[in-house]
Structure 1
Amino acid sequence: MVMPSYSKSKFFCGIDLHKDNMFVCLIDNTGKIIFHKRIPARYSELKAVIGFYLKDCVIGIESTYNYYWLQDACQADNVTFLLGHALYMGIGNYKQKDDDKDSFRIAELLKNGNFPVAYAFPPELRELRDLLRERLKYVRCRASLYCRFKGKVDQYFGYLEKFDGSLIRSYAKREEFINSLKSPSLKLIFSHLHHYIFFFDQGIESLEKDIWKKMVTDYPLSMKILNSIPGIGDILSMSILLEIGKLDRFDSVQNFSSYCRVVNPARNSNNKRVDNKNCKSGNVYLKWAFSQGACLLIRNSPQIKIMFNKKVSAKGKRVALATMKHKLAVAVYNMLNKKTMFDINLFVKSMS
Structure 2
Amino acid sequence: MNFYNSTHRHYCGIDLHARSLYVCILDQQGETLLHKEIPAKPEPLLNLLEPYLDDLVIGAECMHCWYWIADFCEDQGIVFILGHALYMKAIHGGKTKNDRVDSYKIAALIRGGNFPLAYVYPRSMRATRDLLRRRTGLVRHGGDLKAHVVNTTSQYNLPPNKVNLKNVSAREQLGRTFDDPLVQRHIDLDMAVLECYHRELSQVEWLLEKQAKKHQPTYYHLLKTIPGVDIGRILALTILYEVGDIRRFESVQKFASYSRLIICKAESAGKTYGTQGNKIGNAHLKWAFSEAAVLYLRGNPGAQKLLQRLQKRMGKAKALSALAHKLGRAVYFMLKNEKVFDEQRFLTS
Instruction: Classify the TM-score, shorter chain.
Output: over 0.9
SS in 1 for 2:86: helix
TM-superposed CA distance for 1:187, in Å, is: 3.8
Distance 1:21 1:230, change over 3 A: same
Matched residue type, 1:231: G
Relative to total residues, which structure has the larger helix share, 1 or 2? 1
Tell me how far apart the structure 1 counterparts of residues 24 and 204 of structure 2 sit (CA, whole Å). 41
- CA-atom RMSD in angstroms: 1.9
Tell me how far apart the structure 2 counterparts of residues 317 and 37 of structure 1 sit (CA, whole Å). 56
Matched residue type, 2:171: R
Tell me how far apart the structure 2 counterparts of residues 181 and 88 of structure 1 sit (CA, whole Å). 53
Higher mean alpha-carbon deviation, 145-154 vs 92-101, is at 92-101
The residue number in structure 2 matching 1:294 is: 293
TM-superposed CA distance for 1:106, in Å, is: 1.3
TM-superposed CA distance for 1:40, in Å, is: 1.3
1:150 aligns with 2:150: yes
Distance 1:253 1:288, change over 3 A: same
The residue number in structure 1 matching 2:18 is: 19
The residue number in structure 1 matching 2:206 is: 209
Distance 1:84 1:262, change over 3 A: same
The residue number in structure 1 matching 2:136 is: 136
What CA deviation, in whole Å up to 9, does each residue of 1:8-66 have, x standing for no partner?
A: x2111111112211111112222221111111111211112222212321111111111
The residue number in structure 2 matching 1:169 is: 166
SS in 2 for 1:87: coil
Tell me how far apart the structure 2 counterparts of residues 40 and 349 of structure 1 sit (CA, whole Å). 59
Matched residue type, 2:103: S
Tell me how far apart the structure 2 counterparts of residues 91 and 103 of structure 1 sit (CA, whole Å). 11
Where in structure 2 are the equivalents of 1:323-342 lying within 5 Å? 323-342=322-341
Distance 1:271 1:52, change over 3 A: closer
TM-superposed CA distance for 1:180, in Å, is: 6.2
The residue number in structure 1 matching 2:189 is: 192
TM-superposed CA distance for 1:5, in Å, is: 6.3
What CA deviation, in whole Å up to 9, does each residue of 1:298-333 have, x standing for no partner?
A: 114211111212221332112211210110000000
CA contact (8 A) 1:230 1:300 kept: no
Tell me how far apart the structure 2 counterparts of residues 265 and 183 of structure 1 sit (CA, whole Å). 53
Matched residue type, 1:65: H
Tell me how far apart the structure 2 counterparts of residues 281 and 97 of structure 1 sit (CA, whole Å). 24
Higher mean alpha-carbon deviation, 261-270 vs 151-160, is at 151-160
SS in 1 for 2:203: helix
Higher mean alpha-carbon deviation, 78-87 vs 91-100, is at 91-100
Matched residue type, 2:169: A
Tell me how far apart the structure 1 counterparts of residues 26 and 72 of structure 2 sit (CA, whole Å). 21
Tell me how far apart the structure 2 counterparts of residues 50 and 254 of structure 1 sit (CA, whole Å). 39
**Unpaired segments ≥5 residues, structure 2:** none
Distance 1:241 1:29, change over 3 A: same
Matched residue type, 1:47: L
Matched residue type, 2:276: K
CA contact (8 A) 1:146 1:169 kept: no
